[in-house]
Structure 1
Amino acid sequence: MLVRTRLRLAGALASALVATGIASGPAAQAGQQHHRATLADLAQRHGRYFGSATDNPELTDTAYTKLLGHEFDMITPGNGMKWYATEPQQGVFDFTKGDEIVGLARANHQKVRGHTLVWHSQLPGWLTAKEWTADELRAVLKNHIQTEVRHYRGKLYAWDVVNEAFNEDGTYRENIFYKTLGPGYIADSLRWARQADPKVKLYLNDYNIEWIGPKSDAYYTLAKELKAQGVPLDGVGFQAHLALQYDYPASLEDNLRRFSKLGLDTALTEVDVRMILPATEELLAKQADWYADMTKACLAVRRCVGITVWDYTDKYSWIPAFFPGQGAALPWDEQLRPKPAYFALRNALK
């Protein structure tokens, strides 16, 4: 399979290097890129979007932002809309970082996925340092959700309302909200978000739910219960942070399909495929296959609405800081040059 893939990729790479102008240097590349279909263009032909995460510190990198604005039609703020950034003091809101990314997306005619309203991580100290009563925390949670969702009302495509609510074994994660409010905090959060913006798509989002297994089963059961109760839920986000040293989630397509049958959209929301460094030709070919296979799984399921890579370049990947010795997880390298994964994505979308 790898031999076949390398031959295929070598041919694709050669022709694509000419097509993108890479063989003729950066200036030619920049000019040529505007004459070919982008990943977003190719995805739109299937009724899908193709997006990238981004973060405020890298927006000063003009070569980066030019490619970000050209190649993608959906943007997710990596950190600027999280609780620690948006409500650093209780009742004092700061939407500067999120607004910057929304403004950039609007200038580039891109949509935005909001990320994220309720999560156990990156919470401000004032929230985590105090022992709250259930009534107090409900009021704090409702106020945070509704203030932020109202601020962005009409400006976003979707919200990751509740992020990473389950453990690997399918039990509820014992975060501050679950411990104080019980599992009902999820339904309440969705209802409060819907009240604040009747039109935005509301998602649950998590990692390691690409496989059919205990964790994805927990989401399936929860989603079915929420739908039966009339709780507003529009979709489930599969983060798809994969690693080549583990198995590919072969049941991804079937898993996406079973959520679709509940009347829900699905999306691959934070895609990257990391590897143990150094990156070899074999590893990059395997990575390319995985990117293509994920894309094909989404295209095979009508209600899989799109794919977002968790930033598009290794230059700004979160992986090396969190998984020492691992990296090279994204379709563009640290010099913003497309890798085999990029051309595999193009071929899968064609």
Structure 2
Amino acid sequence: MPHASRPHHHHRRRRVPRPLPLVAAGALLATAAVTLPQLTPEASAATTLRGYADARGVRIGAAVGDGPLTSDSAYTTVLDREFNSVTAENAMKWDALEPSRGGYNWAAADRLVAHAAAHNQGVRGHTLAWYSQLPSWLKNGNFSAAELNTILKKHIDTTLGRYKGKVYAWDVVNETFNEDGSMRSSLWQDKLGTGYIANALRWAHAADPAAKLYINDYNIEADNAKSDALYALAKQLLAEGVPLNGIGFQSHFVVGQVPSTMKANLKRFSDLGLEVSVTELDIRIPLPASAAELAQQSADYKLASENCLGVARCAGVTVWGVTDKYSWIPGTFSGFGAALPYNESYAPKPSYTGLSNGLNPAA
């Protein structure tokens, strides 16, 4: 399903975390003591999502909200233990960075980049040219094509210039296609034509030659009209020598609906020489989630991650959030939720195990 523009952080009622049952935890520890040697900190670190991803040389990422990053220590504990990559959920979108023309607000984006550096995490930049979450001065400015071109280049130069060497990949162009494979109407497409895509990639490469440059979209995981159109565009850009390095597959799925053609579809992009990444994975469930649906979600997380990691040029998997407590899903898809690997009390769900098994090189 297409999604609406990503909402900013929703303040939702906080629930008091429930402690794990002591009996179950004790029994688990007792069993572990019988069957396993004493775990060193290094060995136990290897059993985290981050440990498995590190062992494979790939990224396991999470979208990060500035609110929980600055106010919720349980959130940062899980984030830093489990993830070796972060993406700003909203802080690097244009409306957040430049709310008034020439008036930049780097505070939240800088906080995330600094946090990542302090915790040895890579940063995915998100996003430079998108139809949504544009500041009103830009959206309603009625600029000529020439001026709009200049504005886009300046935004790319300024943003990548600030974070040069600190962001390993950028979603340069985001959500450019309709479901039927036609180009989506947007400020950029309507005023500048499809050529803005190549220009944005060239400008981004000039601003930070080391960053991997991506086109990112949703509902392109299956072999369908939309992914066919993106494949044709990617092929054309590469033939023209445009610095396109990767394709981001957002992967906002409904439980039980990971596409059967996903792996083969990612492989055809990889076969062009492009990196492929799952960039915004979440798997939403109609609420309340049943035990059967949570088990299916676990299998879906395993399958989705394996579909990427089974392809030669898969750079990694990012989940769109850490915990259901801050997920964008309930505010956008009415009646759905429970989409992430951790519940609102930071307990790992069955989907955590599914994702862990999908990442584990020994599994």
Partners of 2:265 and 2:195 in 1: CA distance: 25
**TM-score scaled to structure 1, two decimals?**
0.90
Mapped pair 1:242 → 2:257? no
Deviations 1:147-166 (A, max 9, x none): 10111001011000000010
Percent identity at matched positions?
49
Partners of 1:36 and 1:155 in 2: CA distance: 25
Per the alignment, do residues 134 and 325 of structure 1 end up closer, same or farther by CA in structure 2, a change over 3 Å counting? same
Deviations 1:164-209 (A, max 9, x none): 0101111101100100000001000001101111110100001111
Deviations 1:262-318 (A, max 9, x none): 110000000000011111001001101100001111121120110000012101100
The one-letter code sitting in structure 2 at the alignment partner of 1:324 is: S
Mapping 1:1-350, distance limit 5 Å: 18=28, 37-59=47-69, 60-244=71-255, 247-350=257-360
Q: State the SS of the aligned residue for 2:128.
A: strand
The one-letter code sitting in structure 1 at the alignment partner of 2:228 is: D
Deviations 1:311-335 (A, max 9, x none): 1210110000001110000011000
The one-letter code sitting in structure 2 at the alignment partner of 1:94 is: N
**TM-score scaled to structure 2, two decimals?**
0.87
Deviations 1:192-228 (A, max 9, x none): 1011111101000011110000011111000000000
Give the CA deviation at 1:32. Answer: 12
The one-letter code sitting in structure 2 at the alignment partner of 1:230 is: G
Partners of 2:144 and 2:30 in 1: CA distance: 58
Partners of 1:101 and 1:18 in 2: CA distance: 36
Match of residue 4 from structure 1 = none
Partners of 2:64 and 2:26 in 1: CA distance: 25
Partners of 2:131 and 2:28 in 1: CA distance: 47
Deviations 1:216-243 (A, max 9, x none): 1111000000000000000000000001
Partners of 2:273 and 2:60 in 1: CA distance: 22
Give the CA deviation at 1:36. Answer: 5.2
The one-letter code sitting in structure 1 at the alignment partner of 2:68 is: E
Give the CA deviation at 1:37. Answer: 2.2
Q: State the SS of the aligned residue for 2:56.
A: coil
Q: State the SS of the aligned residue for 1:45.
A: helix
Which of 1 and 2 has higher RCO (CA within 8 Å, sep 6+)?
Answer: 2
Structure 2 gaps of 5+ residues are 1-23, 32-40
Structure 1 gaps of 5+ residues are 1-13, 22-30
- Across the aligned residues of Structure 1 and Structure 2, the Cα RMSD in angstroms comes to 2.0
Partners of 2:45 and 2:161 in 1: CA distance: 39
